[in-house]
Chains A and B, each alone.
Chain A
Amino acid sequence: MIPIRIIRRRIRSIKSTAKITKAMEMIAASKMRQAQLRVLAARPYSEKMREVLANLAAQPRVEGESHPLLQHREVKHITVIHVTADRGLCGGLNANMNRRAASFILEQKVPVNLVTVGRKGRDFMSRYGRDIRAEFTPISDKPALVDTTPISRVVIDDYTNKLTDEIYLGYTQFISTVTQRPVLQKLLPIEPTKFERTANIDYIYEPSPSVVLGELLPRYIEMQVYHAILESIASEQSARMVAMRNATDNANEMIDDLTLTYNKARQELITKELLDIAGGVVTQT
């Protein structure tokens, strides 16, 4: 039989834990909404950019040589941009992403290095002695495009300097509040066939189609990276919200169970006392 005093103390402690997890749940819920709005706000820009690129890709090739970011090379080196959260307490989110990236890396026959975004992924990869090319941490909850451009800068430079021949982007895709999926996409080289060819409009290009394309492609990469980070943030917050809701539910369940045990123990104690008194009365008479 656990002493009553200890049960009472335990109930109190679980109650305060439940309060904390409840608060965290609500914070995560509001941050998730903001993050989702930000993903939506970025959509017009990226759609327009795709459209323009599609149109450019449909252009008849101007004088031979293609842009460096479109060049395919024999793959001797791979870089993975690994986007994770800075903080834990969000269920299996970071573990899933880490596992996804790790299994990809182990499948490759050529050396792979990493550009990590977020603390959890960096810690995981450095613990297993992976080659980390660059790390970006912490990431703010509401990044602007300019906050993420250094990340794309690193990979674009490495790619154009032929230090790496393929670049993948790993992040957690936000599907719904309860579902987030770790994905790994090829970022570079860009496949021009990916842009579905829309109605071909005969634009006047200033200064020239190839210059416009050259300016547009790095921005397209920047946009992809920015988008991946926004999705990851939305995923992190929603995963945390769900994890904290479960924690609160579990805490409440424990409180109920313990309260029951507590009441039983209390009743037993009272019954025992009553019996003692009754026994005393019987012996006296």
Chain B
Amino acid sequence: MLKTRLEIITAERVVYSEDVEIVVAPGIIGELGVLPHHAPLMTMIQPGELRVRRDNVEESMFVSGGFLEVRGDKVVVLADVAERADEIDVARAEAAKHRAEERIAQHAVEIDHARAEAALRRSMVRLRVAEKSKKRRPPTV
């Protein structure tokens, strides 16, 4: 089976570097899937879930915006923040979600609505990604 090399890089570290069969990323103008032999592409991505299939197993990750580059048989994601599903701090994401919801509910003038909504979206995606990986984990004996 044809494979593409996927690298997810942030300013602090290399988050992910594996050969995968397909990458599905949250592009700025809609979700996009990248298969091997894709044409060279440079796109911005928005906060969301990045899914990959590796050896027929689906993996899910959180990315909070950045860039995605396709070039030859390589996909590089330059992310502002990226977390693998098992790295997500669920408690923190929950807390962030509550905080954002409260802020939006307040309707006060001094609150930056766009920012609160962005925070809400980020925390929800994080929770969704974390939830997925939990389901897949085999039951403990």
Contacts and interface: CB of A to CB of B under 8 A. Distances in A.
Contacts of B9: 44-45, 48
B76 interface: yes
| Interface of chain B, main secondary structure | strand
A215 B68 CA distance: 13
A34 B44 CA distance: 32
B41 A48 contact: no
B11 A206 contact: no
A201 B67 contact: no
Contact of B44 (A48, A145, A204, A215): A215
Contacts of A46: 11
A223 B9 CA distance: 13
Contacts of B39: 204
Interface residues of B, number: 22
Contacts of B67: 52, 212, 215-216
Interface in A34-87: 38, 41-42, 44-46, 48-49, 52, 55
Contacts of A146: 81
Interface string A237-249: 0000000000000
Contacts of A201: 40, 71
B78 A48 contact: yes
B132 to A, nearest CB: 25
Nearest to B30: A206
Contacts of B78: 45, 48-49, 52
B12 A206 contact: no
Nearest to B41: A204
A41 B40 CA distance: 26
A175 interface: no
A155 to B, nearest CB: 18
A206 B76 contact: no
A52 B42 contact: yes
Contact of B12 (A42, A49, A207): A42
Interface of A: 38, 41-42, 44-46, 48-49, 52, 55, 144-146, 201-207, 211-212, 215-216, 219, 223, 226
Interface of B: 9-14, 27-29, 39-44, 67, 69, 71, 76, 78, 80-81
Given A38-B12, A201-B71, A204-B41, 4 more contacts: A52-B78, A144-B12, A204-B42, A212-B44
